[in-house]
């Protein structure tokens, strides 16, 4: 036998203020007011609420949605941009500026960027000039020795052999009969002159043939 007091059913029955349908709660202490989550969402949306905008810190009243946090669309865009950007310091003019976190922006403007490039080029030129000034000129022993130039070609002093006249006397002999000196002329001076040619148009010359 249960000793708990009996709760009347009328105390457990409730009516949804959004759609008007009835529903039953588990206990009298239940704080349930709507019959479903959809009706609860609709009922809470129409209730005005006081909130503070996280961008401009102004208090505003909203009855559109529970998720609304900003008083206007401008504050929403400005807040998102502020989250995506960060404060940086320009290394040329030392002025602070805002830049996106995902972008590697170093200088606040194009003027400062060009000035930084000019200073960097000037520093590189000074460093290059300093290194060239420290380098000593090469000594004579360290220079590359080139081979001596070839001697000039000697002039050919040999005289050309003169062409001898074939009718010029070449030797002198004594006649074996009268013992008088005679001059011998080398008529057969060339190999062509030593081979007499015979005309082939002669028909009275009988060629020699070896008979068996």
81: closest CA among 70, 92, 93, 65? 70
CB 35 within 8 A of CB 23: yes
Q: Which residues contact 175 (CB under 8 A, 6 or more apart)?
A: 181, 182
For residue 18, what are the contacts with CB-CB under 8 A and spacing of at least 6?
34, 35, 39, 40, 42, 43
d(CA 183, CA 72): 144
Alpha helices in the chain (DSSP H): 9-12, 37-45, 73-84, 110-134
Sign of the four-CA dihedral 191, 193, 199, 205 = negative
d(CA 58, CA 51): 8
- The pTM (predicted TM-score) of the whole model is 0.30
pLDDT tens, residue order, the chain (212 aa): 445 556 666 677 888 887 888 888 878 788 888 888 888 877 776 667 788 888 888 888 776 566 778 888 888 888 877 777 788 899 999 999 888 777 788 999 899 999 999 999 999 999 999 888 888 666 655 566 778 888 877 766 777 777 766 666 666 777 777 888 777 665 544 555 555 565 555 556 555 665 55
Task: Measure the CA–CA gap between 19 and 15, rounded to whole angstroms.
Answer: 9
Residues in the chain: 212
User: Which residues, listed in sequence order, are joined to residue 184 by a DSSP beta bridge?
Assistant: 171
pLDDT at 13: 84
Look-up of token digits 């949605």: 65
């Amino acid at each position: 036998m249960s000793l708990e007091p009996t709760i009347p059913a009328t105390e457990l029955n409730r009516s949804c203020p959004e759609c008007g349908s009835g529903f039953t709660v588990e206990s009298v202490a239940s704080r349930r007011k709507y019959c479903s989550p959809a009706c609860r969402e609709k009922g809470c949306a129409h209730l005005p609420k006081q909130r503070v905008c996280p961008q401009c810190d102004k208090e505003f009243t909203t009855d559109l949605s529970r998720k609304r946090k900003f008083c206007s669309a401008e504050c929403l865009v400005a807040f998102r941009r502020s989250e995506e950007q960060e404060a940086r310091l320009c290394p040329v003019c030392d002025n602070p500026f805002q830049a996106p976190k995902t972008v590697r922006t170093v200088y606040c403007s194009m003027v400062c960027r060009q000035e930084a490039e000019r200073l960097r080029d000037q520093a590189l030129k000074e460093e290059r000039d300093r290194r060239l000034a420290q380098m000593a000129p090469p000594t004579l022993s360290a220079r590359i020795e080139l081979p001596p130039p070839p001697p000039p070609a000697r002039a050919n002093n040999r005289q050309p052999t003169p062409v001898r006249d074939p009718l010029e006397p070449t030797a002198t002999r004594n006649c074996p009969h009268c013992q008088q000196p005679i001059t011998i002329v080398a008529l057969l001076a060339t190999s062509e002159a030593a081979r007499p040619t015979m005309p082939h148009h002669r028909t009275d010359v009988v060629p020699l043939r070896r008979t068996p």
